[in-house]
Structure formats: C-alpha cells, structure tokens
C-alpha cells in the first residue's frame, strides 16, 4: 500500500491514549505560542486584513471568522515566534499546520475537545509520515516541510473531523497536492509563519471541497506526476504506526531560539559552574547546524537566536533562554556575555546526530567537564508537562497559563478558545 492509501486508511484509525496525551501537551504549547504571537506588532496589519467575514471560529487576539480564515491566521500567528514544537524525522513543525485546521473546524461543527484531539493526533502523525516519505531531498532543495507535509497532515485531520469516507479522503488529498506549498527562502521573514497558516487553511478548504463533491487525480500525492515526483520527494517507505506513534518523538521548544541550539543549552543546564571559573568552552554539533545557528558575533536580538556561543554564554551567566525578552539588541551587546562568548569554540562533529550536542568545559583549575544531551532522550509526560507549564507561564503569565492548562486537560473546546484573546 502506497503513502496515499496509508493516509486514507489512517484517517479512520483509533488513537492510542498515550499519543492523544502528547497531543494535548502540544495543544497547550501551540495555543500559548499563538496567544503570545498575536501580540507581535508586526502581524497586526495581517490580522486586520483577514477579518473579512463573520464566523464561529476564534482567532488569536480576540477576533473570530470562518474556519478557513481562522486556520490561516491562527497557523500564522502560532508560528510567528518560531517557538512551537518540532519533529526532526519530519523536519518540520507539525502542530502549527494541523491544530489551526482542527480547532477551526471543531468550533464550526461544535465537536467535543476529545474528538478534536483525536483528529489532531491523526493529522500530526500523518504529517510526520508524509514528511518522512518526502525525505531530506525535498527539504534540502528548498521546500518548507512544515507547510508541504503539514498540508497533507492538516487534510487528514480535517477529513477525520468532517467524517469523510475513503473516496472523499482520496480526493481531498489529491486537491491538497495542488495546494501544498512553502519555500525555505522565506525563513527569517513574516512569510515563514505564513507558510504554516497556508497549510492549515488548505486542510480546511480541500476537505470541505471533497465533501461537497469536488474530485481530483486518483493519486495526486504519489502518482507518476504527483506532488512527490514533482517536488523532489524520495518516496521513502513508511508504515502506519501501531503501538508507538511518531508523535511521541515530538520535541517541544523550551528555549526561545533556533532548535539547533537546544541540545547544547539542555547540556549546559547541568553545568553547575560559576562563569568566572571557566577557562574555555568547546561545543560540538552536527555539521548541519553550522550554517544555521553559528553566528559568531550577533549584533541584534534576532541574530542572538542563531548563535551557539552567545546563547551558551547567556545560559552560563544566568540569563534565561526561555524568556523571549532576553533575546534583545541589548543582550547582543552585553559586555559580560560577549566576554564569555569569546572563550567559546564551536566545531562540527559528524559522529553526532542532529539532535545531539557535546560540550566540553575546561575550568581555570584544569578540571575538564563533558556535558552531553540528545533531544530525543526519553522524557515522561509528567516531566514534559512541568517544563511546558514553566515555558507557558513565561510566555503569557501565570494566571493565563493556568486557565489555559485547565481548559486543555478538560473536554470543553469553548474553554480553550476562550483563552485565545489573551490577558
């Protein structure tokens, strides 16, 4: 059975409790990122431009609209801070493409939160499967898999919410093949989060079109001239999950910077050493990240988010990398941070995976400490919950974070979307 047949079958699958529990945590994380993202001044004109029709679907910042518009805006705003979850096998951010689709349709159709969670879990898993199927060649040539694979995941999720039959799901996926888009050239601009919003809107639209009777190619995703073949897909063999779903390997961001830095920052969390005792630091990382987040002398807060040396120095000096406001132009110029940064060497090491980092601290006493972390290391749901609650408190404040948490662990979708307005 090819990828398309698997996705069609998967849209009807039963969702394991453990996978759904992880999805609730990602809902909590995604909603907080969207609430905070809606406060970004540069996105205010974008939000205003989309308020063209009334509808039942809540939008981050306090507005409402039709399902397609809500999915577009919420997908964009929740990726505005680039602080949402990642899946490294997928090479993308799954929640920002899938959850906006699910929440918008669930609100429109008055679907219980539990059913919405099941649909989102299927959609996220489908986006991961599609991302793996497309492979790294698709990503390396310049496609943004958050948007491309994400659109197919959003389509599967929407199909589940709408209760499409197998024929309708096939046509929805075929329609998606003409809609899925997103390029990495947009990284560093407002169009990067827009890629996520477009994927979410696509999921809503193609599922509704298929439900209304619109048809498409028999296999728009994996056909001879389908999406994969024409978009540098590798057609890597994938299998539907059974007991252990790939959503369990989602990596949530606990630092407000490039995900390539996170393994190093998690390693340094165990350093337990005063900065003045450090003589030298060597950071080893996978070669992929050297061209992404090894800015040696960042001049702005945004550039700091892509600097191994600067963020390492911040961490060792007690500046939280989980606080967005710490990534400021002032921090880029902080003389104490810059002085420690100059003691840091970053080298590539192809024996490490993309999720690993090895940090060697040489103290002034001559003692050498080696710290290692792998972002795929197992973490209990309880431990992940605590880390996410700390992150969300920093993002949107303690009171709002608690309100959102109580809503997410319940079964009232209205309670969740009531939080979208923010404090």
The CATH number linked to 292 is: 3.30.1330.120
Q: What is the DSSP letter of 286?
A: -
- E strand map for 40-90: 57-59, 63-65
Please name the residue that has the structure tokens 């100059």. 342
Task: Looking at the structure, tell me whether residues 66 and 189 fall in a common domain.
Answer: yes
Q: What is the pLDDT of residue 266?
A: 95
Task: Looking at the structure, tell me whether residues 369 and 387 fall in a common domain.
Answer: no
Between the two ends of the chain, the Cα-to-Cα distance in Å is: 49
Which residues form the domain of 302?
259-374
Task: Looking at the structure, tell me whether residues 60 and 165 fall in a common domain.
Answer: yes
How many structural domains are present in the chain? 2
Query: Would you tell me how many other CB atoms lie within 10 Å of the CB of residue 384?
Result: 18
Alpha helices in 190-328 (DSSP H): 191-212, 227-230, 262-268, 301-304, 308-316
For residue 345, what are the CA distances in angstroms to 31, 302, 314? 37, 21, 15
- 56 by Cβ neighbours in 10 Å (0-12 / 13-18 / 19+) ranks as middle
Task: Looking at the structure, tell me whether residues 71 and 100 fall in a common domain.
Answer: yes
Q: Which residues pair with 58 in a beta bridge?
A: 64
Task: Looking at the structure, tell me whether residues 214 and 312 fall in a common domain.
Answer: no
Q: Provide the whole-model pTM.
A: 0.92
Query: Would you tell me how many other CB atoms lie within 10 Å of the CB of residue 364?
Result: 10
| Assigned token pair, 112 | 């219980």
> pLDDT (tens digit, 0 to 9) for every residue of the chain, 423 residues total?
799 999 999 999 999 999 999 999 999 999 999 999 999 998 988 888 876 577 899 999 988 999 999 999 999 999 999 999 999 999 999 999 999 999 999 999 999 999 999 999 999 999 999 999 999 999 999 999 999 999 999 999 999 999 999 999 999 999 999 999 999 999 878 999 999 999 999 999 999 999 999 999 999 999 999 999 999 999 999 999 988 899 999 999 999 998 999 999 999 998 989 989 999 999 999 998 998 899 999 999 989 999 999 999 999 999 999 998 999 999 999 999 999 999 999 999 999 999 999 999 999 999 999 999 999 888 999 999 999 999 999 999 999 999 999 999 999 999 999 999 976
- 90 by Cβ neighbours in 10 Å (0-12 / 13-18 / 19+) ranks as buried
Task: Looking at the structure, tell me whether residues 225 and 315 fall in a common domain.
Answer: no
Task: Looking at the structure, tell me whether residues 153 and 267 fall in a common domain.
Answer: no
* C-alpha span between 285 and 134 (Å, rounded): 25
Q: What is the pLDDT of residue 52?
A: 57
* C-alpha span between 198 and 150 (Å, rounded): 10
CATH number, domain at 202?
Answer: 1.10.4100.10
Task: Looking at the structure, tell me whether residues 77 and 183 fall in a common domain.
Answer: yes
Task: Looking at the structure, tell me whether residues 413 and 366 fall in a common domain.
Answer: no
Task: Looking at the structure, tell me whether residues 212 and 108 fall in a common domain.
Answer: yes
Task: Looking at the structure, tell me whether residues 184 and 303 fall in a common domain.
Answer: no
Q: What is the pLDDT of residue 207?
A: 98
């Amino acid at each position: 059975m090819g990828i398309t047949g698997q996705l069609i079958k998967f849209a009807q699958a039963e969702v394991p409790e453990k996978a759904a529990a992880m999805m609730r945590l990602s809902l909590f994380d995604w909603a907080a990122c969207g609430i905070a993202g809606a406060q970004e001044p540069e996105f205010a004109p974008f939000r205003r431009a989309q308020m063209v029709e009334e509808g039942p679907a809540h939008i981050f910042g306090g507005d409402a609209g039709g399902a397609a518009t809500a999915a577009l805006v919420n997908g964009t705003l929740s990726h505005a801070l680039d602080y949402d979850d990642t899946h490294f096998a997928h090479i993308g951010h799954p929640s920002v493409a899938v959850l906006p689709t699910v929440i918008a349709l669930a609100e429109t159709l008055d679907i219980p939160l539990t059913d919405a969670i099941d649909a989102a879990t299927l959609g996220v898993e489908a986006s991961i499967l599609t991302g793996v199927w497309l492979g790294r060649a698709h990503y390396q040539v310049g496609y943004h898999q958050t948007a491309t694979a994400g659109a197919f995941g959003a389509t599967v999720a929407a199909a589940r919410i709408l209760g499409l039959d197998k024929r309708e799901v096939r046509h929805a996926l075929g329609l998606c093949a003409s809609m899925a888009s997103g390029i990495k050239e947009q990284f560093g601009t407002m169009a990067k989060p827009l890629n996520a919003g477009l994927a979410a809107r696509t999921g809503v639209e193609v599922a509704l079109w298929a439900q209304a009777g619109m048809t498409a190619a028999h296999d728009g995703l994996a056909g001879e001239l389908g999406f994969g073949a024409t978009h540098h897909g590798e057609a890597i063999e994938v299998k539907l999950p059974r007991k252990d779903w790939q959503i369990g390997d989602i990596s949530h961001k606990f630092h407000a910077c490039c995900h390539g830095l996170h393994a190093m920052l998690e390693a340094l969390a165990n350093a337990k050493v005063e900065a003045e005792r450090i003589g030298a630091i060597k950071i080893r990382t996978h070669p992929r990240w050297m061209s992404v987040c090894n800015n040696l002398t960042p001049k702005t807060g945004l550039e700091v988010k892509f600097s191994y040396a600067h963020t390492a120095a911040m961490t060792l000096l007690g500046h939280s990398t989980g606080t967005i406001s710490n990534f400021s132009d002032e921090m880029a110029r902080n003389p104490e941070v810059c002085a420690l940064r100059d003691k840091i060497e970053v080298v590539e090491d192809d024996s490490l995976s993309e999720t690993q980092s090895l940090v060697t601290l040489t103290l002034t006493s001559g003692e050498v400490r080696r710290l290692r972390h792998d972002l795929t290391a197992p973490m209990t749901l309880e431990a992940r919950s605590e880390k996410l609650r700390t992150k969300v408190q920093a993002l949107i404040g303690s009171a709002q974070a608690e309100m959102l948490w109580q809503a997410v662990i319940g079964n009232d979708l209205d309670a969740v979307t009531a939080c979208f307005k923010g404090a």
